[in-house]
Chain A
Amino acid sequence: MRDETSLNLPVSSKDGRGGIEKKLTGIPRKSQLALLVAPSVLWLIILLVLPLITMIGLSFQKSAFGPDSEVFTFASYLNFWQNSAYQSLLGKSLWISLVVAVLSIVLAYPVAYFLAFHAGDKQGMLLNIMIIPAWTSFLLRVLAWRLILGSNGLINTFLMWLGVIQEPISGLFYSVNAVIITLVYIWIPFAALPIYVALLRIEPGLLEAASDLGAKPWQGFFKVTLPLSIPGILAAFLYVFIPTVGEYVTPALVGGPNGLMIGNIIWDQFMRGLDWPMGATLSLVVMLIVLLPLVFMAKAAQQTGVLGGKGE
């Protein structure tokens, strides 16, 4: 890689090759390790840290372009504080994300449980069956839900053919419900994975001990299995909740005017050339709301290794 040699992090200077490290020539010096990490760090700084800093700066500008861009102002934050439309949209987005996360976890838990405890040697294959839909085109799957929920869609056509209904059900498509159904569908495999991992880590002996001591199977589940799978549930929650808060593609495709989320407003601010500083402010608010609980929950998630934590 290009100029990584010039990027020796400070650690290299104070790293003499003394002490124990002298015995084996191959033990990496800290400078060598820094060299390995440097390209990634560079990438993260240029494409993540600097853009985010730019966003912070932009959120305090009066306008994105022209002479007004030199003016420092809290106007966008004030606007957010005073404009209840932004706040209610944010509240709605958080509410939708919460519902989606809880539903995904509730629906995914039995699958994870089945895979971990009852699938036997078919585990790997069945796991793949769960995961494959998650890797096929996101847009096309959302499009498919238009075909299922729409007024000429599968559900309405089928119910009308049965004679259960005469008119297409109106609350099905272009609604918050459609957004929730589609997102739950998208997230179930992602919610199942961390729960499955957590369940696998439960010592079978614990359940045996519980049943030896007279616990019924359901007691064993609620007293042993469920509590021990909480790190997995938390990780699943984060995995679903966080990206959903900023979601804008699904609401745009199936949500209709009532199903819009905060991400759609951010999109409008930037792509319809409205108010970049306001868009930046809303982005940062969303980011803070998403990252703050993450900091608190990171420890729990780390235990399942999902966020690349310390390991054992």
Chain B
Amino acid sequence: MSTATLTSSNAPAPADVKPTLLNALTSRLVIIVPYVWLVLFFLVPFLIVFKISLSQTAIAMPPYAPTFTLGDGIAAFFSNLRQLSFENYLWLTEDALYFNAYVSSVVIAGISTFLALLIGFPIAYGMARAPLTIRPLLLMLVILPFWTSFLIRVYAWIGILKPEGLLNQFLIWTGLIDQPLIILNTHSAIFIGIVYSYLPFMVLPLYSTLEKMDFSLIEAAQDLGCTPTRAFWKITFPLALPGVVAGCLLVFIPATGEFVIPDLLGGSQTLMIGKTLWNEFFSNRDWPVSSAVAVILLLLLVVPIMIFQQAQAKAQEQGR
């Protein structure tokens, strides 16, 4: 797999100098070492997940059959191969639980992403128009929560959203309501949790595109007869679109597979695929089925992940 052969590099690199064997090795080491690592600990594990998803549950350790060991020889390998089946995937289609979990994951992630955009855009916009001197501070304030533990930030909301929690205490105290609102263990709590946790991911790419924008464009548009609202939709939004796309993907992709938020805030009623996978694995100890769930989750996210990757590659091209 480690076929990191250097052909020619476009940039006049020092590697253009006739390489001695040692030079060639050291310069390729930089590629080979992380390459091998990622193949070993990122790519191979996926292949294993895929393989196990085709296996059968067994009461053993590891709890699936067949297991492949190198000692068995080629013949055993092929006879084992014949035992693999798509049974687990059929099982996923038969049981409405899984289908519903997939659909509700996508719906919840989609709604949360939209809400995050709605909340994040004015923040990013305000930051981009803030005086230059305080922008670094604002930027740091957006990034800071990202450094604090995800688990802690989600946990903080439990105390707020509980029926006897701080939010209800406050609302009853103001007289707006007299009965506590039930928020915890509903979808609303998940929306709040996702928006809260992933807001920095939305604000940062938005801010970086909006910051580069020349605000005299809006003045020019207004000078030419555009109303502020029209100027926003005709000028600001199209120019911020790369940031909108990046932000939405950065929220949507991890939110779809989210486990901690639905588990802590959504209660037992909520179906989300990350949680289902976790339960299949830890509670039911059904490794093949949880592998199949993982494979389908991945397939579900392949398209957005590829869009994200392409956007990254594009940004990289522009950066050089």
Same complex origin of A and B: no
Please report B residues at the A interface, Cβ cutoff 8 Å: none
